[in-house]
Structures are given as C-alpha cells and as structure tokens.
Structure 1
Amino acid sequence: MAHCNVHSPHDDVNLGPSANPHAKPTDFDFLAVIGKGTFGKVLLAKLKATKKFYAVKVLQKKVILKKKEQKNIMAERNVLLKSLQHPFLVRLHYSFQTAEKLYFVLDYVNGGELFFHLQRERCFTEPRARFYTAEVASAIGYLHSLNIVYRDLKPENILLDAQGHVVLTDFGLCKEGVEPEGTTSTFCGTPEPPFYSRDVGEMYDAILHKTLVLPAGKSEAVCSLLKALLHKDPHRRLGAIADFLEVKNHPFFSAINWDDIFHKRIPPPYNPNVRGPADTQHIDPEFTRENVSNSVSRTPEFNASFNANNAFKGFSYVANEENFL
C-alpha cells in the first residue's frame, strides 16, 4: 500500500505570516462527528499543540472529482477567505490537504443548528424570529456587498454560537462575482418549504405558481415580509432594487437598530447554556453516534497513483491569526 504523504502548499500560494505549510491530520485529536454532507464529514477536533477546539470539515477528493464539484469546493474556500470580517459568518483558520482529502479548519460553533432548535420547539415567537432573521440578513447583506450570492439558506446551515448569536455556514453553493443586478441560472439549493409535496414536479409547479398561504395569528408586518420575500416575480421581490437596504427598512424590522445587531449589542433571546468549548449537547445525536475513526482513517479503495493535487491547486490556506484576537 502506498504511503499517504502530506503535500506541501504550492509555491504560488501566499499563506501569510502565520502559515504552517506542514499542517496534517495528526496535529489533531478527532473527538466526534458533528455534521455530514455529500463529500465528507465535519468533526469536532482538538489541536494538540494548543488544546483549542475546532470544527474540521474533511472532504473526500475522489467523491468531489467524481461529481465534478471541485469548482464549488474552491468557491467555498474563496468565500470563507472573504468572510473574515463579519460577526455572523463562520471563520476559516486554515486549510490543508493530503493525497485523498481536503481539510477546512473552522470555528467550532456549538449552540446547535437553528433547525435542531426549531424542530424541538416547533415555532419561534416573532421577536425571537426577528432577532435571528436580522442577524442572518446582516450576513447575507455583507456577502452581497462582495458580489457573492448565498444559494442554500435554510435552518440546517444556520448555527447558534455559545451565546446564542447566529453563524452562517456551508458556502459550497455560493456564487462569486455576481453583479448587483445580475442573476444566476443554476438550479440549486433546497426546494422544500413552504410548498412541500412528495411529488417533486408538483412541488416545483407550486413554487412557481401557487399562492402563498400563511398561518393565522401572525402580525401584519411578518406576513408582509414573507409575501415580499417570496414574490413570484423576482423583479418585484423584496431586495430586487436596493438589496439589503430594502430588507433593513421593512416594517418588520422597525424596532431593530442595525448597528447594534452588527456589534452584537442586542442580547440573544435564547442562551444555549453550553458547558464549555467541547460541548456537543446541541449536536444531533444522529451525527455524534458515528464512529470517528471511520471518518479520518485512510480510504483503502483510493487509487494512490491517481494525482488529484492539480484539481485543488491553491486550496491550502492559513489565516493571519491576528484577525481573530
């Protein structure tokens, strides 16, 4: 069996002053599976040298190449690099690769998926929903200012941090370089709510043509916001003309001070009460039950002679840690 070498970063990649060109999986103790996706898993890991905890996203190169997804993976990395300056976007500390896998070393955000909390509580009050929506809108507005379109917004991709603030993750379906008036033609994302049908064709038809029916007992402001965001005609949808500014000025957010939102001066409506930096109480047991060793061990059927390096040229990255102090 061929030895699995850790490849050095390419000469043409500037990794910054705190670069560690020899980062490797054995730098970490992998403690638990905390998420799963098409191309790999997300693991809670402790960096042995510093005892700090991170979420490490481990992606299989062969699966990515088989599905011709390397563009999306590189787009995810590029968006992570541009997201350093925003409080509600997950931060990338560094990335590295082995012969078989790509590794993103990210913040471990352990307040749980919004999906997990919504499932447990079934419905949020309007003030709580307003808080989360405002923080998410702030993050999306920032991405749009960088001409990046986030195309898979759903409760599974919105995490809560230890204090209960929002953190947006999973930039695999982001599209870079979209001009303010531009659109994308790719069919992607998660189509289900609020027009779910087991018949997929029927569901797509409902998304395009069916009238939105909102449950009773909601305020006029929230109904107005939802109708405006889900308008069938994209040219008449809220945000179509002045983007985030239109969302900020909607009556649903009249009580929100956007500067206070950005600077986290508004206390979160719910505190996850995590017990420490390695707490997994809010992570779905479906993930944490999994065996960690299966996720990080070498893939035996991988063809060692297959050179995937060029497909991911420039992937390795190390952030200047001064940004995070």
Structure 2
Amino acid sequence: MDKCPRTGCGGKIEDGFCDVCGLEPPAPLSSSTAPPSMSSRTSSRPTAVTSWTTPTTSAVTSRSRRGSTRSTNRGLLGRGIVDIAPVPKRDPREAVLTNPEVPENKRFCSKCGTKVGRGREGRPGRVEGFCAKCGHHFDFTPKLQPGQLVGQYEVLGCIAHGGLGWIYLALDHAVADRWVVLKGLLDTGDADAMAAAVAERRFLAQVEHPTIVKIFNFVEHAHDGITTGYIVMEYVGGTSIKDMIKEVRQKSGDQTACLPLTQAIAYTLEVLPAMGYLHGIGLVYCDFKPDNVIQVEEQLKLIDLGAVRHVSDEDSAIYGTTGYQAPEIGKELPSPVSDVYTVGRALAVMSFPFDFHNTYKTSLPGPAEQALLAEFESYHRLLTRATHSDPAQRFGSAEEMRDQLEGVFREVAAAEDGQPRPGVSVEFTPERRSFGIPTTSVPSTPTLAVVAQSLPIPRVDAADPGAAFLAGVHATDPKELVAELKATKLASVEIKLRLARAYIELGDHANAAKTLNSTKTEHGDWRVAWHRGLASLAENKPGNARMAFESVYDALPGEAAPKLGIAVCAEASGDLADADKYYRMVWRTDRTYISAAFGLARALLGKGGRMEAVDVLNSVPDTSSHHLAAQLAAVRARTGIPRSAGLSAEDLVLAGSQLAGLELDDARRAVASRELLESAFAWVRGGPNGSPGTVLGCRLVEDDLRRGLEGWYRALARQAGTRRERIALVDQANRVRPRTWI
C-alpha cells in the first residue's frame, strides 16, 4: 500500500485512489514533459463572441487531444469544459482562531429563535445567560481549550462555528498524528441540537463519497458534570464558496460581485452527485448553502452534515436556513426535491446578487431585474424549475438536475469564448435528418412537415413495457407500422408515442391528436408535449408548435432539441429575431446540429446580416456531409443576387477564390460560376467599372464578365437534359456576349 504523493496529504493509495484526498496519484512526468499549468478565469461575465470560424484540422486534433487528457490539462472541477483554479490546501495551524467568539449578530435562542447575547448602550452582549422571551439557557463559549485531550485527540483550538456547534482542530495521536476536526454543540443545553448530533453519528457511519467529508469517530467529553458528544471528521483545509464570494467582493470593491457563472455551475455539478448519493441511501441533506462547500486543491467537499436526516424521519428537528430552505418545509417533510430547491437557490446566490433573505425569500428576480438571467435564458429556466414553489414541478432528482445543468454549462461556456461544447443528450436522439439544406446554392427554407420528420425524438425509456417490443419492430412504411403497433395489446406510453409519430408521418392529423390525447403519463412527462409540437408542425401551425416546444424547454433547459424546434417556429412565423436567437444558441454550442447553421444563416440574411451569415456557413465543419453545400451557400450569401447592399469588389474576389477552391462536379461548378459572375456583372453595371481584382479569371470590367458568362451559359447548355433547355441557355449566352463587328 503506497503513500499518497501529494504534499501534506498523508493518505494511502487503496484501489488506485487516496483514502484521504480521494484523488488518483498523479502520473509521473518524463524529463522532457513540463507539468501542466492551471489557469483561472478572471472575468466574471462572459463576453459576446460573433466569430464563427471553424478550426483547422490541426486545431480540431488539438482540441480532441486536450479533451482526452482532461485530468492533467484541465481541473477536475471544470469537467474538461472550463478551467477552475485550484485552491491551495491551508496549513491547519493557520485556521485556529485567536479569539473564538460567536458574533453578536449570530446569537439566537436555540429554542425560540429570539435574538440573545446582544450589547446595549455600549456594553457588549453576554455570551452566556437566559433568553428573555422563553427563559431557555444559552451559552456560546467554547467547551474545549487548547491542549485538552478528548480521548485520543489533542485539541489545538477553535477554527469555526456553525449552526449546530463549535468546530475544533485536533491531532489524532492514535493515527500518525493526523489532523482531524471535532464538531461539538453550539449550545449543550439544547435537546434538539444534541439529538441532531447523535443522529449525525448514526447516519454518517454509512456515508462514503469522495465529495462528502469523512466521519472517523464519535467521542464524548465531560465538562462541569455535563457530557458532550463530538463528531470526529477529516480536516478539509481549503476555502468555502461563501468565503470565495467575500474575497471576490473585497478585491473588486463591488459588494454585489459574485462568482463567474461557469465557476458557480462547475461547483454545483460537483455537488449534485453527492446529493444523489445521499438520496440513494435514504438520506436528505436539508441545509445546503455556499457556506457548507469547501474547495481544496481541485476537489470539493460537502461539509457540516448536522442537518442530515432519514427521508422518512418524522420526529427529529428539521434544520435549514432562511432564503435557502424550500417553502413547503414545515408542512411537509424534507425530501430529495426539497434538496434540489436548496441547490438551486445556492446556485443563484453564487452567480448574481439579490435579496434572497427578504424580498426574494421564496422567489427569484426576473430577467428585467437581473441582466445575467436575460443573457442566459436556459440558465434562468433551469433556476426557475429547480426552485419552483410546487415540489412536483421541480427536477425529480439530483441526477435529473445535473443532466440539464450540464447542458446549460456547455451553452454558457460556448457563449463565453465562442468555442463549441458538444455533448450527448440523455433525453433526445440526434437529428433524424438535417433540414433546410439547399440542393443548389439557392437558400432553402424547409416546409414544416419536413421539419416534423427531421427533429430529434425522445429516447425510448428502457423501463417502459413496450421498449423491447419496439426494439424488434422493423417496419419502415408508416401504414405497416400503424398496423403493427395497433395489433399489440401492451399498455405502453412508448408504443403510443411511436404510433402518434407514424400518424404524423402519414399526415393523419386527427388520429395523431387522438392518440396523444389518450396517452396517459406521469405528471411532468414532457414527451407528449414534444409530440404535440411535432404534430402541430405537420399541420403547419407554428404558433401551436412553439407553445408545445416552450413547455419542453421549461422542463429540459439544457437540451438543444426544444431550442431548435422554437427556432423553426419563430422563422415560420416571421420572427427573425427569435429565430436568430435560438438557432444561434444551438449552433454556438454544438456543431453537429447542421440544420441550426443553415437556419441561423437564413435568419441573418433576412435581417441584413450578410457577412455574419457567411461566417456561420463557413463554420460548418469539413467533417460534415453538408460542408460543400454550406460552402456554396456561403459564396452566394457573400455576393447575393440581385445586387446586395454593401457588396464590394473584395467580396466578389473572395467569393471567386472560395468557389475556385471547392471540389465540385461539372454541373454544380457551372451553376455556381454562372451565379457568381451574374452577381459581379450586376455589380459592375450598377457601379464603378474597372475595379481591381479578378473573379474566376475575369477582370471586374463589363466585357470580361460578359465573356465569362457566355462561356458558363454554353457549358450549362452542353449539360442540359432537354432540347428546349439547351436552346434557352444558348440564347442567354448570345444575349450576354460582348458586342463585336463579327
């Protein structure tokens, strides 16, 4: 058994991981390899990025290589998406308080909550006494002094105080003088607090998770005839998220400053699996907040488990913090979804300032009040669902929230630096087929019926009774599929949804609606709403479809599919601003949604954003089967037919260079070349003649362009499929040729 090589750890490697810090031992570095650097994000707000340049092949290779070495080149907390600066492990001795004292503004009666121990008329408040309202005894003094022995543990002093007790630093003389923490009670006369400590000992003996503080032991110590219990846990010598926020405000001089959004999300993504673990063993955390999470080096630790309780516990006192605690607590017992609420509230507190104790005690500010929520709509929708006042409307589990937050994380990070962050959806398939792809260089707006058969669909629920049956269905013809699905007697939501899609493919709108109306699902199942959206698209009702897709977006804010559906509906309704917004959100994050690139380009062209449309089309990766179509569309978007506003000689020359470099068959090259020269000819006739530069070998003068056009018309005539078409093209060539005496 090897010793952990990390400085100051002292743990041992078991099964490939340290039993103290929970990390893998770092890989040995060769003499020619420098240790990886770690950089932090310094800006608290993402910057707008409008460049859509596709990386070169070497850049793509580099990005892939960086992803494969995530554990060394990027911090664990960044999940390979962003860099989070490591927090040095603090020397335990530096954490000891010189004068341990509970601040007066944090002294409350543990029984009735009344303020106690407050100063008056210049005199300091009492640290020990009786509550003036209920007569309950309070005592905020530490019960252990430096040098005292509590069993095998030598007390070194107080390091913090919390809602349930003083926290002491100690040395474990029985185990290699390792640093440990003793957590006692803030008020030893409080029966509820004592019961919570006993409960903590019982529950936490079974907790084993790398993001949750380890509990080593439970000891008792007698003081003035009163026996007090102490929990012995690992020392976590990092910085709490609450203190990080304080530090940001001190350094910036802005008392409303918060953590960068990507950092706040990265922390939450690390916490949610720990919450899910607790829920999986029948426990609820109850009191999550930024105070209770510490970062040390590249790892988070969830601390202060005093409020943890069994999900079915109806007797123990319930602990929570105003502004974080779910509104139903008191009427209902804490549950996994009330923990989801506290995580959502804490995430909001980490990322933007608001009065969460009073004005927004059980609500959130809107986008009009908080710019961050206006900038990142998906993030706003995620917080709205996580902190919904109705528990049934929240994410059903920590895992479900994590899946959606992961998608939001990728979207926010992509918006920050313009680099796509694709990810695999756990809810939707990829696009069934790309839509809106021009078959020539002419832009192609797809019909809504085609879109309905192209958008992603929900992944089949493996637990559904009909999942195995659907896996064995091989019919592809919609009529045959309807017959096969209707013949089964299985009661299955998945079979119903597949039947509805078959009716949509047939154009049988009445039966599609009837099938969806008869599909019985659990509360909050978004799959029926998604299929209603597809059905409305097939009926050419973009307004109805958008309402359905909006409800799916509310439920799944991290998914690309509902945003793509909303973009299509906005474009079909003539709302180019929203079409731009939602196509952009999808394409900027994930370049596998090729339909979003062409949709965004159409929206930009419709708004007059010609050059950005060119950039978007050029950003379609060369690995895509639609890369060539995008390049041809970019050539046309740059020049435009008829004459585009702001078109310049440089645009024409660049378009000619791009077209000349494409590998095209004779037919497509002839069509594209004719179109480009027609645009150049129209530009020359409407503006200056004799501009510098050449386009496809023709100078930007009228006679040269006429000769070039004549040649391409004749080339097209040779490729014509009918005699009439050939004659028409020859006539065009004769009309455009330069006038001569011959």
Equivalent residue, structure 1, for 2:366: 213
Aligned ranges for residues 170-189 of structure 1 at < 5 Å?
Answer: 170-178=304-312, 188-189=319-320
Structure 1 letter corresponding to 2:300: V
- Give, in angstroms, the shift of residue 145 of structure 1: 0.7
- Please give the alpha-carbon distance, in whole angstroms, between the structure 2 residues aligned to 1:56 and 1:223: 40
Does residue 368 of structure 2 align to residue 245 of structure 1?
no
CA distance in 1, matches of 2:306, 2:200: 5
**Is 1:98 matched up with 2:221?**
yes
For residue 200 of structure 2, give the secondary structure of its aligned residue in structure 1. Answer: helix
- Work out which of the residue numbers 376, 379, 397 in structure 2 matches 1:222: 379
- Looking at structure 2, the residues matched to 160 and 211 of structure 1 have their Cα atoms a distance apart, in angstroms, of 27
For residues 176-225 of structure 1, what are the alpha-carbon distances to aligned partners after superposition, in whole Å with 9 as ceiling and x for unaligned? 0449xxx9997641113667477xxxx3x8545x5643521342332222
Q: Which has the higher contact order (CA 8 A, sep 6+)?
A: 1
Partner of 2:237: helix, strand, or coil? coil
Aligned to 1:129: 264
Decide whether the 8 Å contact of 1:61 with 1:101 is kept in 2. Answer: no
Greater helix proportion:
2
Residues 34-92 of structure 1: CA deviation (Å, up to 9, x unaligned): 11135531111122342211111133784233xx33332222222321212x1110001
- Are residues 1:159 and 2:294 paired? yes
Secondary structure of the 1:87 match is: coil
User: 1:5-46 CA deviation, whole Å, 9 max, x = no partner?
Assistant: xxxxxxxxxxxxxxxxxxx61633322321113553111112
Contact map agreement 1:75 1:171 (CA 8 A) in 2: no
Q: Deviation string for 1:137-158 (max 9, x for gaps)?
A: 0110111111211110101111
Match of 1:52 in 2: 178
Task: Give the direction of change, closer, same or farther, for the CA distance of 1:130–1:38 in structure 2 (3 Å limit).
Answer: closer
Does residue 190 (structure 1) correspond to residue 314 (structure 2)? The answer is: no
AA aligned to 1:172 is G
Q: Give the whole-Å Cα distance in 1 for the aligned partners of 2:423 and 2:214.
A: 25
The 2-side partners of 1:247 and 1:188 are apart by 23
Which stretch shows the higher mean deviation, 93-102 or 146-155? Answer: 93-102
| Matching residue within 40, 48, 67 for 2:165 | 40
Q: CA deviation at 1:159?
A: 1.4
Q: Larger strand proportion, structure 1 or 2?
A: 1
Aligned pairs (5 A) from 1:1-325 = 25=150, 27-49=152-174, 50-59=176-185, 62-65=188-191, 68-84=192-208, 86-99=209-222, 100-121=227-248, 122-161=257-296, 163-178=297-312, 188-192=319-323, 196=355, 203=358, 207-208=361-362, 210=363, 212-213=365-366, 215-217=370-372, 218-239=375-396, 243-250=397-404, 251-253=407-409
Shift of 1:252: 1.8
SS in 2 for 1:59: coil
Q: Give the Å deviation of 1:126.
A: 2.3
8 Å contact kept, 1:94–1:104? yes
Could you state the TM-score of these two structures normalised by the residue count of structure 2? 0.27
Aligned AA (1:111): G
The answer (yes or no) to whether the contact 1:80–1:90 under 8 Å persists in 2 is: no
2:383 maps to a residue whose letter is L
Deviations 1:212-262 (A, max 9, x none): 4352134233222211111121110122xxx1231132132556999xxxx
Change (3 A) 1:256 1:87: farther
Aligned equivalents of 2:355, 2:317: Cα separation in 1: 21
How far, CA to CA, are the matches of 2:312 and 2:188 in structure 1?
Answer: 29
Give the Cα–Cα distance (whole angstroms) in 2 for the partners of residues 146 and 92 of structure 1.
16
| Structure 1 residue 166, shift from structure 2 partner | 1.2
Distance 1:256 1:247 in 2: 18
Q: Secondary structure at the match of 1:139?
A: helix
Q: Which residue identity lines up with residue 276 of structure 2 in the other structure?
A: G
Determine the structure 2 residue equivalent to 1:294: none
Deviation digits for residues 268-301 of structure 1, max 9, x if unmatched? Answer: xxxxxxxxxxxxxxxxxxxxxxxxxxxxxxxxxx
Given that 1:115 and 1:155 are in contact with CA atoms closer than 8 Å, whether structure 2 keeps it comes out as yes
SS at match of 1:79: helix
Question: Mean alpha-carbon deviation: is it higher for 32-41 or for 249-258?
Answer: 249-258
> For the structure 1 residues 192 and 207, does the alpha-carbon distance in structure 2 shift closer, same or farther, using more than 3 Å as the test?
closer
CA offsets 1:120-139 (integer angstroms, 9 cap, x no match)? 11322222112210111011
- SS of the residue aligned with 1:89? coil
Q: Distance in 1 between matches of 2:402 and 2:270?
A: 11
Counterpart residue type for residue 89 of structure 1: I
Query: Is residue 32–residue 44 contact of structure 1 (8 Å, CA) maintained in 2?
Result: yes
Query: What is the identity percentage for the equivalent residue pairs of Structure 1 and Structure 2?
Result: 26
Contact kept in structure 1, 2:241 and 2:295, CA below 8 Å: yes
CA contact (8 A) 1:212 1:227 kept: no
Output the CA distance in 2 between the equivalents of 1:94 and 1:234: 36
SS of the residue corresponding to residue 249 of structure 1 reads: helix
Using the alignment, how far apart are the partners of 2:187 and 2:246 within structure 1? 33
Contact in 2 for aligned 1:79/1:171 (Cα 8 Å): no
Q: Is the Cα contact below 8 Å between 2:185 and 2:194 reproduced in 1? A: no
Q: Which runs of 5+ in 1 are unaligned?
A: 1-23, 259-325
SS in 2 for 1:96: strand
SS of the residue 1:227 aligns to = helix
What is the alpha-carbon distance in structure 1 between the residues aligned to residue 323 and residue 389 of structure 2? 16
Compared with structure 1, are the counterparts of its residues 61 and 119 closer, same or farther at alpha carbon in structure 2 (3 Å cutoff)? closer
Structure with the greater alpha carbon radius of gyration: 2
- Counterpart AA for 2:377: E
Pair 1:61–1:190, CA change in 2 (3 A)? closer
Contact 1:42 1:55 in 2 (8 A): yes
CA distance in 2, matches of 1:158, 1:98: 28
Cα pair distance change 1:253/1:77, threshold 3 Å: farther
- Which amino acid in 1 is paired with 2:219? F
- Residue 32 of structure 1 contacts residue 43 of structure 1 at CA under 8 Å; is this kept in 2? yes
Q: Which runs of 5+ in 2 are unaligned?
A: 1-148, 249-256, 325-348, 411-420, 425-742
Is the contact made by 1:114 and 1:156 (CA closer than 8 Å) also made in structure 2? yes
- Aligned residue for 1:269? none
